[in-house]
C-alpha cells in the first residue's frame, strides 16, 4: 500500500510540475505572439509611411516634368508662330520682286526692240555712207584682221622659237660640248689602194714571173689587182674590199722579204697572211669592245666589229667612227642622268652592218638589224640601230642619242669626204628649194652648204612674214635633203630708195 501511495504521489507531483511548465510555456508563447504582433504593426505603419512618401515624390516629379513639357511646347509654338510670320513677309517680298522683274522684262523687251530698230537704221545709214553691204563689210574687216593676225602670229612664233632655242640650245650645247671635249678620236682617211715598197726595181720582174705566172696566181688567190707602173721601187694594190687588200699587202711584203716567189709559195704565204688577218680582226674586235666598256656581246658580233677596222665610209674608218659614237652617246647619256651602258652598246653596234655589206645584199642598217636579231640582242638596241638613219621613227631617248652621236662624229670637220657630184647636187637642190617659194628673188648656198642666203622681194614679203617663210623653207629642206649637221636659212629683205638731184 505504501508503495502504491508513493507511486501515486510521485505521479501527482510530476503532473503538477508538468502543468506548471505548460502554463509558463503558454504564457511565454502569448508574450512572444504579442511582441510579434506589435512588431508587425510597427513595420506595417513604417511601410505605409514610406509608400506615401514615394508616391508624393513621384507626384512632385511628374508635376515638374509636366510643367517643363508645357513650357517647351509653348516655346515651340511661339517659334513656329514667328517663322510663319517671317515666311509670310518673305512671300510678300517675293511677290513684289516678281512683279518688279516682270515689269523690267517688259521694259527690256521694249528696249531690245528699240535697239534693233536703231541698229537697222544705223546699218542702213552706214551702208549708204560706206557703199558696203554687211557681207562686204565683214569681208573687209576679216581681211584687216587677217593681216593683223599675220603680224601677231609671226611675233608669237618668233618669241616662242626664241625661248625654245635659248633653253634647248643651251642644254644641247652643254651636253654635246661636254661629250666632244671628253672624246678625242683620230680620223684616218683611207683609200681603196695600198702601196708596197720594194728593195729594187728588179723585184718587179720577179713578182710578175715568167709569162706573168706569179702575178696571175697572186691576183687569183687574193682577188686584188697589182698595179705595176713606172714609179720606182713601188707596187700598188687595188681592191674595193679592204680585208682582201690587207691580206694581199701582208702576203706581198712577206714574199718580198723572203725572196722566194713562185705559185706554190705564193699560195702558202697568202693562206698564212689570211689567218693572221683573221686573228687581227678578232683581236681588234675584242679591243674595241673592251675600250667601249661593252660586255656580253656574242663572239660572232665581236668578229664583225673587228672587220670594221678594214671598212671606211666617205674616207672615215668605220671602227673608229663606231667607237666614237659609243663614247659620245655614253657621255651624253651620263650628262642627261641616264644609264650610259645601253647607249654605249647601241653606239658600238649601230654600223655593224658595214662589216657585212660586201658579202650580203641589203643596206648596212638592215644587215645590222638582221645580225643583231640572229645573236639575240635586246629589242631597244636593235631599234636604235634601225632608227639611226630614220629607217623607222625614233621612239625613245636612246634612238635620239645614237642619231645625235652619229651626226656629230660624221659631221666633224675632216672626218669624212663627200663625193663631188653628190656635194654639187645637194647645193643645187638647196637653192632650188629656196627659190621655189613665192616672193623669193635670189638665193645662194654658201659656207659649203651650211647656210643658204635668201633675198626676198620687199613688196611681196613683209617683215612680219619673214619668220614664216624661213620656217617653211627649213621644213622643205628637212623633208627633201639628207645632210650632216644643220643648215642655216638666212632671209634678207632690203628696201632701196633712189632719187636724183638735178
Assess whether pLDDT exceeds 80 at residue 395: yes
Whether 487 and 451 have beta carbons less than 8 Å apart is answered as yes
Whether 383 and 392 have beta carbons less than 8 Å apart is answered as yes
pLDDT at 190: 47
Whether 416 and 314 have beta carbons less than 8 Å apart is answered as yes
Residues 148-189 pLDDT 10s? 666 666 667 677 777 776 676 666 655 555 555 444 444 444
Assess whether pLDDT exceeds 50 at residue 18: yes
Strand 451-456 relative to strand 440-446: parallel, antiparallel, unpaired?
antiparallel
Helix (H, G, I), strand (E, B) or coil at 361: coil
Q: What is the DSSP letter of 189?
A: B
Assess whether pLDDT exceeds 50 at residue 134: yes
pLDDT at 484: 67
Whether 318 and 185 have beta carbons less than 8 Å apart is answered as no
If we measure between CA atoms, which residue out of 247, 344, 364, 380 comes closest to residue 304?
364
Residue 448, judged by CB atoms within 10 A of its CB (0-12, 13-18, 19+), counts as exposed
Determine the Cα–Cα distance for residues 179 and 334; give it in Å rounded to an integer.
9
Q: Mean pLDDT, the chain, as a whole number?
A: 81
Determine the Cα–Cα distance for residues 444 and 103; give it in Å rounded to an integer.
76
pTM value?
0.49
User: Of 124 and 85, which is predicted with more confidence?
Assistant: 85
pLDDT at 372: 92
Confidence of residue 117 (pLDDT cuts 50, 70, 90): confident
Residues 404-447 pLDDT 10s? 888 887 765 555 555 556 667 788 888 889 889 988 888 888 76
pLDDT at 473: 92
Whether 221 and 262 have beta carbons less than 8 Å apart is answered as no
What average pLDDT does this structure show over 371-375? 91
Amino acid at each position: 500500500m505504501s508503495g502504491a501511495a508513493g507511486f501515486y504521489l510521485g505521479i501527482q507531483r510530476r503532473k503538477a510540475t508538468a502543468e506548471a511548465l505548460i502554463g509558463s510555456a503558454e504564457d511565454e508563447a502569448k508574450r512572444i505572439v504579442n511582441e510579434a504582433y506589435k512588431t508587425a504593426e510597427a513595420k506595417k505603419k513604417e511601410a505605409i509611411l514610406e509608400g506615401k512618401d514615394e508616391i508624393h515624390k513621384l507626384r512632385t516629379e511628374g508635376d515638374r516634368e509636366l510643367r517643363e513639357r508645357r513650357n517647351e511646347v509653348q516655346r515651340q509654338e511661339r517659334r513656329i508662330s514667328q517663322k510663319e510670320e517671317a515666311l509670310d513677309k518673305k512671300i510678300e517680298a517675293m511677290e513684289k520682286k516678281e512683279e518688279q522683274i516682270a515689269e523690267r522684262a517688259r521694259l527690256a523687251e521694249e528696249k531690245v526692240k528699240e535697239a534693233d530698230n536703231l541698229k537697222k537704221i544705223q546699218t542702213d545709214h552706214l551702208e549708204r555712207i560706206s557703199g558696203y553691204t554687211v557681207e562686204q563689210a565683214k569681208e573687209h574687216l576679216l581681211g584687216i584682221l587677217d593681216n593683223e593676225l599675220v603680224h601677231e602670229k609671226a611675233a608669237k612664233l618668233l618669241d616662242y622659237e626664241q625661248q625654245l632655242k635659248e633653253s634647248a640650245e643651251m642644254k644641247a650645247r652643254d651636253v654635246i660640248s661636254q661629250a666632244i671635249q671628253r672624246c678625242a678620236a683620230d680620223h684616218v682617211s683611207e683609200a681603196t689602194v695600198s702601196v708596197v715598197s720594194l728593195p729594187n726595181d728588179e723585184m718587179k720582174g720577179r713578182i710578175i714571173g715568167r709569162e706573168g705566172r706569179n702575178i696571175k696566181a697572186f691576183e687569183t688567190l687574193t682577188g686584188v689587182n697589182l698595179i705595176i707602173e713606172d714609179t720606182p721601187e713601188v707596187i700598188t694594190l687595188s681592191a674595193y674590199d679592204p680585208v682582201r687588200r690587207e691580206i694581199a699587202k701582208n702576203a706581198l711584203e712577206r714574199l718580198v722579204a723572203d725572196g722566194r716567189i713562185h705559185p706554190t709559195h705564193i699560195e702558202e704565204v697568202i693562206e698564212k697572211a689570211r689567218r693572221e688577218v683573221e686573228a687581227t680582226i678578232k683581236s681588234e674586235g675584242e679591243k674595241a669592245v673592251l675600250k667601249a666598256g661593252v660586255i656580253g656581246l656574242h663572239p660572232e658580233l665581236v668578229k664583225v666589229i673587228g672587220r670594221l677596222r678594214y671598212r671606211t665610209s666617205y674616207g672615215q674608218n668605220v671602227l673608229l667612227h663606231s667607237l666614237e659614237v659609243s663614247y659620245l652617246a655614253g657621255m651624253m647619256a651620263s650628262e642627261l642622268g641616264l644609264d650610259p651602258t645601253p647607249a654605249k652598246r647601241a653606239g658600238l653596234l649601230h654600223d655593224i652592218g658595214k662589216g657585212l655589206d660586201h658579202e650580203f645584199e641589203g643596206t648596212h642598217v638592215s644587215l645590222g638589224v638582221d645580225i643583231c636579231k640572229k645573236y639575240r640582242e635586246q629589242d631597244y638596241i636593235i631599234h636604235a640601230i634601225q632608227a639611226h638613219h630614220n629607217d623607222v621613227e625614233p621612239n625613245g631617248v636612246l634612238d635620239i642619242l645614237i642619231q645625235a652621236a652619229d651626226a656629230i662624229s660624221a659631221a666633224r670637220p675632216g672626218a669624212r669626204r663627200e663625193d663631188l657630184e653628190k656635194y654639187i647636187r645637194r647645193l643645187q637642190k638647196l637653192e632650188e628649194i629656196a627659190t621655189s617659194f613665192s616672193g623669193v628673188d635670189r638665193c645662194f648656198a654658201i659656207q659649203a652648204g651650211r647656210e643658204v642666203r635668201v633675198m626676198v622681194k620687199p613688196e611681196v614679203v613683209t617683215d612680219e612674214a619673214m619668220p614664216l617663210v624661213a620656217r617653211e623653207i627649213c621644213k622643205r629642206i628637212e623633208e627633201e635633203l639628207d645632210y650632216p649637221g644643220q643648215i642655216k636659212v638666212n632671209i634678207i629683205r632690203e628696201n632701196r630708195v633712189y632719187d636724183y638731184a638735178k
